[in-house]
Chains A and B, each alone.
Chain A
């Protein structure tokens, strides 16, 4: 009898794993989440999903306001951090020098309202995004907690297979 119960449990668990109902526990998903960079906003922000094009415009300063009219504040980790390098490569598609030049020029022409806010650690990013309603930043997916909201990029969360912003991935198109 006990063998039958154990067999049934294993069988049901297998079905749940294969159907994605326990995706959060699946080894592949956990690995995918650990390798992902989550885009986070303040919990009060109504945005749920951004296309990659919208995300790039926001980080470049070409879109300065959220749909609710609140000003966007982009948060960047300081130079040298791996997450920053990933964002420069995959979202900005430029190096440190061109990043600096882009914002210097944008501020000079008046087209960019504010340069990104630079912070030193993921904890500071969490705290800043928690306290600034218009903030948007990035964190390694495992570092995200409930104080912020993770935004879907191209309708995908960091734990999902086709999520585009990876720590060790190729630049998104």
Chain B
């Protein structure tokens, strides 16, 4: 206020110094003084009665507004309790404020009720096929329903993620059953450290963690026999219940990744091979692997894994199991070449015997527009006196087929398999499959 008065008198002095004390100056000075807060304050002080009245009016208005505010708050609490409680948990609510640099919000791990939604995607297939394998209930020519896979994911929070595969599947008895094939809660600390707990596909080799329970993703009509599911005669511990740690290894353009798993392993005493609830022994299966995805060749992946468990069959001694796997795959947009080799080593305790089961497959395909012809050769050789999987024996042979992508989400595949067996006639299988996602 003092500044304004001084400025105005200063202006007057300057004008006098120039000898221009004109009427315009006087008028300007007068207007400025009228509009200044000093004058306003003086005017207000000059009429204390009107000021008191104004204060009383304002106080009355404040009392009225407070009363109204209480009424509104009470009404909101009655009608929208859920909304009111959820509102504070919305850190990323959009706002219309003008753009301005933001302070980095504090890192929080709270469940956002507005964001935590289940996302469901389905995968399934319908098949028509038959084989010449004698004594197999699936050998007759038949239409068959494949797995109906409900893939459910949810962002529990920024760091926690949920993932599951719930599969409805008919067996040789034509009765549908339900399996939770995968169920994982993952905490992602960063790209180098992710921890998951639940039921997972054991990271042995490549195929088991690349395609899971969807035939639509797979080029062929099904998995290589080496990676067949346990309930379909497979020899690997495909599923496991436990915990895993995965992540990248700082390695520049080499693109190294690691994985480590610990779980219940596979059961051999009971009918259900996956030990979801109880374990036959306190010994835990462990698996460790590494693979590289070099930047210079996008689509290339090469790596290894080593799995170790102590099996407890219903009869006979405990068996030490070691599974060593190596893979080198190239999976580009148009060209695919998958190569995997395994060695399963079973060493019964208390004996000097060791049973080695080698197996491998190679698969190549090339896309021509919507068409993708493919070829696969696979080989598994289980010794006749192997304590656990002797019935599998030797089986090997080629497969050839054609995949036709009818639409973005529907694929039609026709595949022929020739499988040679040890001590038995080779058999042929033809399968026509419609695989899709929805």
Q: Which A residues contact B (CB, under 8 angstroms)?
A: 42-44, 53, 63-65, 68-71, 94, 97-98, 100, 104-105, 107-110, 113-114, 126-128, 130-133, 145-148
B209 to chain A, nearest CB (A): 6
Query: How many residue pairs at the A-B interface have CB separations less than 8 Å?
Result: 66
Interface SS majority for chain B: loop
Contact between B333 and A44, CB atoms less than 8 A apart? no
User: Is there a chain A Cβ closer than 8 Å to B352's Cβ?
Assistant: no
How many residues of B are in contact with the other chain, CB < 8 A? 36
Which B residues touch A65, using CB under 8 A? 188, 190-191
CB within 8 A of B295: which of A53, A64, A146?
A53
Once the chains bind, are B437 and A69 in contact (CB under 8 Å)?
A: no
Return the CB mask of B145-163 against A: 1 if under 8 Å, else 0.
0000001010100110101
Q: Pick out which of these stretches binds chain A: B75-83, B100-108, B382-390.
A: B100-108
- Among A53, A94, A98, A110, the one with the most B-chain Cβ atoms within 10 Å of its Cβ is A110
Q: A69-B190, A104-B217 are in contact. List 12 more A-B contacts (CB 8 A).
A: A43-B101, A69-B189, A71-B159, A71-B188, A97-B408, A98-B333, A104-B437, A105-B217, A110-B196, A114-B155, A128-B94, A148-B99
Task: Give the nearest-CB partner of A43 in chain B.
Answer: B101
Q: Which residues of B contact A107 (CB under 8 A)?
A: 153
Instruction: Assess whether A146 is in contact with B209, with CB atoms less than 8 Å apart.
Output: no
Check A43/B102 contact, CB under 8 A, given A110-B163, A127-B94. yes
Q: Judging by beta carbons under 8 Å apart, are A108 and B408 in contact? A: no
A50 to B134 Cα, complex, angstroms = 61
The verdict on B16 contacting chain A, using a C-beta distance below 8 Å, is: no
Complex Cα gap A105–B430 (Å): 27
Check A109 against B209 for contact (C-beta < 8 Å): yes
Partner of B191, one of A63, A97, A105, A128: A63
CA A71 to CA B127, docked complex, whole Å: 41
In the complex, what residue of chain A is closest to B96 when comparing beta carbons? A127
Closest chain-B Cβ to A142's Cβ sits at a distance in Å of 16
Select A71's contact among B94, B158, B437, beta carbons within 8 Å: B158
Across the interface, name the chain A residue whose C-beta is closest to B200. Answer: A110
The answer for the CA separation of A128 and B151 in the assembled complex, in Å, is 28
13 contacts between A and B (CB under 8 A): A44-B103, A44-B104, A64-B188, A70-B158, A100-B408, A104-B437, A107-B153, A109-B209, A110-B186, A130-B99, A131-B95, A133-B104, A148-B99
In the complex the two chains form, what is the Cα distance from A43 to B408 in whole Å? Answer: 38
Q: B210 on the interface (CB 8 Å rule)? A: yes
Can you name the residue of chain B whose Cβ is closest to the Cβ of A135? Answer: B92
Asked whether, in the complex, the Cβ of A109 is within 8 Å of the Cβ of B210, the reply is yes
Per the bound structure, the CA–CA distance linking A63 and B100 in Å amounts to 28
* Chain A neighbourhood of B184, CB < 8 A: 110
Q: Which residues of B contact A105 (CB under 8 A)?
A: 217
Known A63-B191, A94-B333, A110-B163: A131·B210 in contact at CB below 8 Å: no
Choose one: A113, A128, A145; the contact of B188 (CB below 8 Å): A113
| CB nearest to A127 among chain B residues | B94
Do A108 and B188 contact each other (CB < 8 Å), given the known contacts A42-B102, A127-B94? no
